[in-house]
Amino acid sequence: MKYFYLAIMAMSLSPVSFANKLIFPVSHPKMDLKVSDPFQLAQAHLGVKLQAEDFKLIETKKSLLGTHFYYQQMHHGFNVEGAQLVVTINSMGKLTKIYNNSTQLPSALQKAFIPMISESMAMEHAWAHLASDGKLLERPTSTLLFRPDLGLVFKVNISTSSPFGHYSIIVDATDGRVLSVEDAALPRMKRAESQVKKQNLNSRVIPFSSALANFEKSEIIFNLFENVSFVIGSAQVFDPNPVVTLGRTDLQDDSDDSLFTQAYKNEELKDISFSNGVYNLRGPKVTLVDFEGPRIAPSTSSDGNWVFERSNDEFNDAMTYLHIDRSVRYIESLGFIGQHAVFTKSLEIDANGVDGADNSHYIPSSRRLAFGHGCVDDNEDVDVILHELGHAIQHHINPSWFGGDTGAMGEGFGDYWAASYSVTTENGLNGEVNWVFKWDGHNDCWPGRKLNAFTPTYNRKRSYGAHAPVDGGISDELWSTPIFQAFLEMYKNGVAREDIDKIILEAHFGLGSGVKMPDMALSIVKTAKDLFPDKDYDQVYLRHFKKMKIL
């Protein structure tokens, strides 16, 4: 089947982005009274002419400080990838924030009709390019977008067991050519680039139709609220890890089991499911599933108790469920619940995945998490568990969290979310406070990361992706250092962790794609002042951002 679309062939496909993407307008009461439409109000403050017919309101979100209106830029009926106008109105009806990442398309145009492939054909072309001889791990998706640099394209998301990965594949919508391929999952540490296998005579390439049919036969859809009771269970876990609890940085993966005895703690498992005499680690906040290799089903219990030691997969299952469930409930306790919720449904997690690699990742296309078990099992360390949850937090608040410096900031925020919890636990302020992944890393497995990397400073002429080398450090640490050091200063001075995290989470609302570190830093500083006008929290953040030359 073929479609036809009206293509806009420009003399130049280079887009022009507006400067000063993030703006905190000075209120003009007369204008606010006359203009009630958020789009018109933002346009008046921007001082540029945005055509209302080129923007579509796609989502409205509420947060602690206001309501955020997300307008998607359109081009002849197609979404322009990453081009949005986000307008924030506070509870008093005043315009407080504008994030403008819309694109000024070239004006010299030529109209032409061009044939276009179908969505299913785009997925077939993407699958053929992967030359997969494995299985689909998730249901594939395809989205039709306008890219100013490429024209009309399909963005195809395919997850496959061989070659293992969660791929984002750009397919030309006019002829089916594959323009780019990347493994779009977000790993906790840098891994070798995925090698997409080239089709050859020795490879048993599986047709896409067969792979999809096999996936649909095996797909499991959980209905959590059908014939299920939610009950309290218990588990033996680490909290956060044996290095912190025992104050021992000499522990290794092969250390004697007896050394860990005093690190175990007994904790409640909230809202696990009970049905037909079986307890499962599936609840309203967290659902353990098996979608990646090694294919090991989540453990169950006949009595609701998961009392195991670190050598058992059941221990990792309980660790994963407990700490993500607890962190999600903590976020809700800050006020992000109901209309203000970050998470609106249970997070699906594979506690024994990543094809057995010594890594863990978040998958933006499906919003799932998976943890690997190489060396120290990743989910033996709460730092790793909460780091991956950090990615989920950002992508749930801002689904357009890509481009700009979001790669480095995503990793840095995940490190912050992990470490800021760790310091609040027993012995958390002792030892190497500025380490993250204190058990999973900083040992014979891998060096981990730190949160006091003061040598690298921000360069506005470049963008910062994840895990990139920078000035003798890592791009992730360029972001985690100022926000964690600000946290540490305030926390040691008696400021509640809850107040600090309210600032960080709230600052993520009202932003779109292409966020740079100065944008995010300004949002944090402004949010700190708006949430706590009688405190100097904004000045603490400002000082630490200036130290890294981010502001």
In this predicted model, what pLDDT tens digit does every residue of 49-78 receive, in sequence order? 788 889 999 999 999 999 999 999 998 889
How are beta strands 186-187 and 360-363 bridged, if at all? antiparallel
CATH 3.30.450 fits 19-101, yes or no: no
pLDDT value, residue 18: 40
Question: How far is Cα 352 from Cα 35, in angstroms, rounded to an integer?
Answer: 53
Q: Residue 202 half-sphere exposure, CB side, CA atoms within 13 Å?
A: 1
Mean pLDDT, the chain cut into blocks of 10 residues (551 residues total): 31 38 72 69 85 93 97 92 96 93 68 69 96 95 92 95 96 95 93 52 79 89 74 98 96 96 98 96 97 96 98 97 98 98 97 96 98 95 98 98 98 98 96 96 92 95 96 94 98 98 98 97 98 98 98 97
Question: How far is Cα 259 from Cα 96, in angstroms, rounded to an integer?
Answer: 54
Quick one: tokens of 248? 């021992």
Taking phi over 0 as left and psi of -120 to 50 as alpha, with beta for the rest, 144 belongs to: beta
pLDDT value, residue 13: 31
Residue 542 phi, psi (nearest 5): -60, -45
pLDDT value, residue 8: 29
Omega within 30 of 0 (cis) for the link into 240: yes
In three-state secondary structure terms, 9 is strand
Quick one: tokens of 397? 């608040």
In CATH, the architecture of 116-194 is Roll (3.10)
Q: What is the pLDDT of residues 288-340, one digit of tens each?
A: 999 999 999 999 999 999 999 999 999 999 999 999 999 999 999 999 999 99
pLDDT value, residue 192: 62
Same CATH fold assignment for domains 19-101 and 230-547 = no
pLDDT value, residue 2: 34
Helix axes 537-547, 475-492, angle to 10 degrees: 150
Domain range list for the chain = 19-101, 116-194, 230-547
Helix axes 497-507, 406-422, angle to 10 degrees: 170
pLDDT value, residue 224: 57
Q: What is the CATH number of domain 230-547?
A: 3.10.170.10
Give the long-range contacts of residues 153-156, CB within 8 A, separation 24 or more: 153/179, 154/117, 154/119, 154/122, 154/123, 154/126, 155/81, 156/122, 156/123, 156/126
Are 340 and 278 in contact, with CB atoms under 8 Å apart?
no
Are 140 and 209 in contact, with CB atoms under 8 Å apart?
no
Cα end-to-end distance, the chain, whole Å: 53
